[in-house]
Amino acid sequence: MIANFEGKTAVLTGAGSGFGLECARIGAQRGMNLVLVDVQRDALEAAHEELSAQGVKVLSRCVDVSQADAMQALAEQTYTQFGAPHLVFNNAGVGAGGLVWENSLADWQWVLGVNLWGVIHGVRLFTPMMLQAAKLDALYQGHIVNTASMAGLLTPPNMGIYNVSKHAVVALTETLYQDLQLVSDQVGASVLCPYFVPTGIGQSQRNRPDALAHEPLTASQRIGQAMMDKAVHSGKVSAAEVAQKVFDAVSANQFYVYSHPQALGNVAQRMQAIVSQSQPPDPFAARPELGQQLRADLRT
């Protein structure tokens, strides 16, 4: 829980676009010091220019969050300039679809590297700083927010590699919450589970690493990309609205943060199937035409 953001420090990965940028904008409005992290240099430079013009202190670093050494250097630079951060938003993420057996080793390494290892690095490097700050200052308040997805609570087909990464982030963050409860009342945690929201994740291919640059997409990956693009671009909830939900959650010490609470009905069905030992529910029960189209496309 953070009651007052002014003068506090926020570290935000994936800060060049989407949720990261919108949260950085809210942080600037509230007078926070900002540490902006992104792998896309032009987007990062644009964010730095925009936010520093508002009179807040901004440190920006072009970092691949999957790389341990680069994240270690980021943590050290953050501490040197601002001390222990108060808000850490482990948000950087990439999207990838396709049938699970068609994803290459490089696909798995890329998606898990960014979506999961990026969060792991953020947690393992910044949490000790925050806990130490709490020990030294009874008034210190810190909060860690990890971006997962509704795909971390569901198992939609043809996007297994993404599902796996986001389920892991949910489990990591729930465990982080429980662990923090054992040792401190001053540092909290939340997990953000957005549904389809227009952000840059639909264009994740722009940041594919060199190992994948010339690797052609499989048929199922192309189909998955098209479906993702259509769903994301039809989203009615904006990234700015989700960012506000994040700050509200941090202020209220709320753990689960959703962009589309109405999607929790599907989560309840999945949980009931687990408890009753039933088969996994049909993800297209409410929209059977989508399932029919996907089956037809994959079998052609």
In a domain, 4, yes or no: no
In a domain, 1, yes or no: no
Percent of the chain with pLDDT over 90: 80
In a domain, 298, yes or no: no
In a domain, 2, yes or no: no
pTM exceeding 0.85: yes
One of 79, 140, 162, 177 is an active-site residue; which one? 162
Q: Return the pLDDT at 162.
A: 95
Q: What is the pLDDT of residues 229-286, one digit of tens each?
A: 777 776 689 999 999 999 999 999 999 999 999 989 999 999 999 999 999 999 888 8
76: containing domain: 9-261
In a domain, 297, yes or no: no
In a domain, 278, yes or no: no
Q: Return the pLDDT at 230.
A: 76
DSSP per residue over the chain, as a string?
--S--TT-EEEEETTTSHHHHHHHHHHHHTT-EEEEEES-HHHHHHHHHHHHTTT--EEEEE--TT-HHHHHHHHHHHHHHHSS-SEEEE-------B-GGG--HHHHHHHHIIIIIHHHHHHHHHHHHHHHHHHH-TT--EEEEEE--GGGT---TTBHHHHHHHHHHHHHHHHHHHHHHHH-SSEEEEEEE--S--SGGGGGGGG--HHHHTPPPPHHHHHHHHHHHHHHHT--S-HHHHHHHHHHHHHHT--EEES-GGGHHHHHHHHHHHHHTPPPPPTTSS-HHHHHHHHHHHH-
Q: Return the pLDDT at 290.
A: 84
Q: Residue 11: CA atoms inside 13 Å, Cβ hemisphere, count?
A: 34
Alpha-carbon distance of 222 to 59, in angstroms, equals 37
In a domain, 286, yes or no: no
Q: What is the pLDDT of residues 197-215, one digit of tens each?
A: 877 555 555 566 666 767 7
Q: Return the pLDDT at 229.
A: 76
| Number of structural domains found in the chain | 1
- Ordered mean pLDDT values, 10 residues apiece, the chain (300 residues): 94 97 98 97 98 97 98 98 98 93 93 97 98 98 97 94 97 98 98 85 58 79 83 80 97 97 93 97 86 89
CATH no. for residue 13? Answer: 3.40.50.720
In a domain, 281, yes or no: no
Q: Return the pLDDT at 182.
A: 98
140 catalytic per annotation: no
